[in-house]
A and B are shown apart, each in its own frame.
Chain A
Amino acid sequence: MYLAPRSSGVAVPESDFTWGCISMKLTDISNDINEWFSGAGPLADIVVSSRIRLARNLAGHKFLGHCSTAEKKEILEKLKNVLMSLELGDKIFYISVDKTSVLNRDFLVERHLISRHHALSKGPRGVVIAQGEFFTAMINEEDHLRLQVLKAGCQLSECAKQINHIDDMIEQQVSFAFSPRYGYLTACPTNLGTGIRCSVMLHLPAMKMTGQIEKFFNAARNMGLAVRGLFGEGTEAASDLYQISNQVTLGVSEKTIVSGFEKTTIPEIVEYENAARNELLSKQTATLDDKISRAMALLQNAHLISSHEALLLLSHLRLGINMHRHMGATTPAIKRLCALARTTDKDKGLSIATINRLFMLTLPAHLQLNYGKLLDSTHRDALRAQIIRSALNQDT
């Protein structure tokens, strides 16, 4: 059995996918990571990315749960036309989520372009995506419109500025349901008010290794924040990637929520993780080196690897590279990891972007879309192992 990754898909059903007048394929973006997962940006060794989402509903319409198919279509057409006319400085394209294949929907979820809820719900619905994937707008999700801006590293203020500007542009053309007392009216009362959800994705492997992850959960809970895994519920344990977000949306302004994250929440958690990384380096070197060495050995040699195992092992490589880059760590395992990096990345060193690319491109829907056909789990595990071996062994 030999499974060579192909550069572009052929057999996967195409979606209704337009980019202005030019049609394009999802495989045009599935071969690489998006900008917000590039490993760049402030504090990116711990804060992987920042995201802000706004929930909006058109005035004069029912919420989606009570809309007929005809009304959903009307809302979809109206918002699609408004969004496609926006001047964002980048090309934008549209995908009919209800018409596209299950694999394409899974791909969009893995890439954080739509929510799991949007992929699974019924009726006319779609998503508008800006090139570079920094902005997406889900139409007919739980609310009529869910706007989202994503950026690499700790950049919540930038996200807030950009999403506010986009929201202003949309409001020039439509009226949103709004009440003086409750603010923007949403289908679920938990999103009422600003309709804002600020999230940051954090890589916290050292807190996990030193048994202090409970400290993080408690800090998040005390600040009234919700904690989830990056690639869906339950995946945080595998990838050490956690997403924290605000829960209160009423009675607190957008500005206050963002500054709370930037001035208090993020610095506190970054401090905890850095302290844990220092502890690993000074007191638990054997534990650290064992994790990194095992991860290297398995990833360089495995022929079958599950998505869960790959996420966990790649997380340990990511930790090693970041500890070398940001803390000057030179333990025996980290030295070997960096030597490996020099041979693979042409003396530039194994980059976080490469690790993140392996993270994302070996997820099930990415694998299948790039290979060009649906694969069972054994074939996926083989293909995943092969892609990772190719990236980490110069001779493979």
Chain B
Amino acid sequence: MMQCQICNKKTATIHLTEIAEGLRTEMHMCEQCAIEQGIAAKSQVSINELLSSLLAVQPSDDELFGPSEQKISCPHCGFTLDQFRKEGVLGCPYDYELFEKSLLPLIERAHNGKTNHSGKVPSKTPQDMKKQIEHLNLHQQLETAVRNEDYERAAKLRDKIKQFENGRKITPSETGG
């Protein structure tokens, strides 16, 4: 326990760091000495005050991401997130892209943490899109393998992803079926 640098008796509970003209000084004192020095004004801050002070310094959504998804409406169908909260369904397929940031946590929760499609792909899908899906799938499998601590499989998948990214053809035996 650090002792108060003023009275040298009590335990120091106030730690003051002061930087003036590039010089950093530290002071450690007990609450009573701090009050006498006019440093510690309040020993307890309500949780509400603490939260509002934290929120006050947070940048707004608009500052972080540009115009917030909360305020925009879809140019194709006029859908807004407010409508989604009321109805639970989306307005058009494009909404998944437009409101992705807001929808993603919900999608993740509904599908047991999964966020990438695995399974049937329409036969008419262009070849490059099929490759993109395969790529996403491999990453998802890798994440699952790491989560399950199946490092042998994870290593194989990592190699496969490397091969895939280098444009090499992967045989079915390499993909494990």
Q: Contact at B91–A251, with CB atoms within 8 Å?
A: no
Question: Can you name 10 A-B residue pairings with CB atoms under 8 Å?
Answer: A63-B90, A65-B87, A65-B89, A172-B123, A183-B118, A184-B120, A250-B110, A251-B111, A251-B114, A254-B120
**Chain A residues, Cβ within 8 Å of B120:** 164, 167, 183-184, 194, 253-254
> In whole angstroms, how far apart are the Cα atoms of A252 and B141 in the complex?
10
Chain B interface helix/strand/loop/mixed: loop
The segment from A174-182, A214-222, A321-329, A357-365 found at the interface with B is A174-182
Given contacts A183-B117, A251-B116, 19 further A-B contacts (CB under 8 A): A62-B92, A63-B89, A171-B124, A172-B123, A177-B93, A178-B121, A179-B93, A179-B96, A183-B118, A184-B120, A189-B107, A192-B117, A193-B114, A248-B110, A250-B110, A250-B111, A250-B115, A251-B113, A254-B120
Query: B125 near A: Cβ within 8 Å?
Result: yes
> In whole angstroms, how far apart are the Cα atoms of A171 and B124 in the complex?
8
> In whole angstroms, how far apart are the Cα atoms of A61 and B89 in the complex?
15
Which residues 76-105 of B sit at the A interface, judged by CB distance below 8 A? Answer: 76-79, 87-93, 96-97, 103
- Among B90, B119, B129, which residue has its beta carbon within 8 angstroms of that of A252? B119
Q: Contact at B90–A171, with CB atoms within 8 Å?
A: no
**Chain B residues, Cβ within 8 Å of A188:** 88-90
Q: Contact at A185–B93, with CB atoms within 8 Å?
A: yes
A162 shortest CB reach to chain B, Å: 14
Q: Contact at A168–B123, with CB atoms within 8 Å?
A: yes
- Binary CB contact string for chain A from 228 to 263 against chain B (1 if under 8 A, 0 otherwise): 000000000000000000011111111110000000
A120 shortest CB reach to chain B, Å: 15
Which residues 112-162 of B sit at the A interface, judged by CB distance below 8 A? Answer: 112-125, 129, 132-133, 136, 140
B42 shortest CB reach to chain A, Å: 47
A172 shortest CB reach to chain B, Å: 8
Query: A187 near B: Cβ within 8 Å?
Result: yes
Query: B106 near A: Cβ within 8 Å?
Result: yes
Query: A346 near B: Cβ within 8 Å?
Result: no
Q: Interface on A for B, CB 8 Å cutoff?
A: 57, 59, 61-63, 65-66, 142, 164, 167-168, 171-172, 175-185, 187-190, 192-194, 196, 224, 247-256
Interface core residue of A66, A175, A188 (most chain B CB under 10 Å): A66
**Chain A residues, Cβ within 8 Å of B111:** 192-193, 248-251
Q: Contact at B117–A250, with CB atoms within 8 Å?
A: yes
**Chain B residues, Cβ within 8 Å of A168:** 123
> In whole angstroms, how far apart are the Cα atoms of A61 and B90 in the complex?
12
* Chain B residue with Cβ nearest A251: B114
- Among A59, A62, A164, A189, which residue has its beta carbon within 8 angstroms of that of B103? A189
> In whole angstroms, how far apart are the Cα atoms of A255 and B88 in the complex?
28
> In whole angstroms, how far apart are the Cα atoms of A184 and B120 in the complex?
9
A83 shortest CB reach to chain B, Å: 17
Q: Contact at B91–A63, with CB atoms within 8 Å?
A: yes
**Chain A residues, Cβ within 8 Å of B125:** 178
> In whole angstroms, how far apart are the Cα atoms of A172 and B122 in the complex?
9
**Chain A residues, Cβ within 8 Å of B112:** 224, 248, 251
**Chain B residues, Cβ within 8 Å of A167:** 120
> In whole angstroms, how far apart are the Cα atoms of A254 and B124 in the complex?
19
Instruction: Check A187/B117 contact, CB under 8 A, given A62-B76, A66-B78, A192-B111.
Output: no
Q: Contact at B115–A59, with CB atoms within 8 Å?
A: no
> In whole angstroms, how far apart are the Cα atoms of A247 and B93 in the complex?
21
Q: Contact at B93–A57, with CB atoms within 8 Å?
A: yes
B33 shortest CB reach to chain A, Å: 59
Interface core residue of B106, B107, B114, B118 (most chain A CB under 10 Å): B118
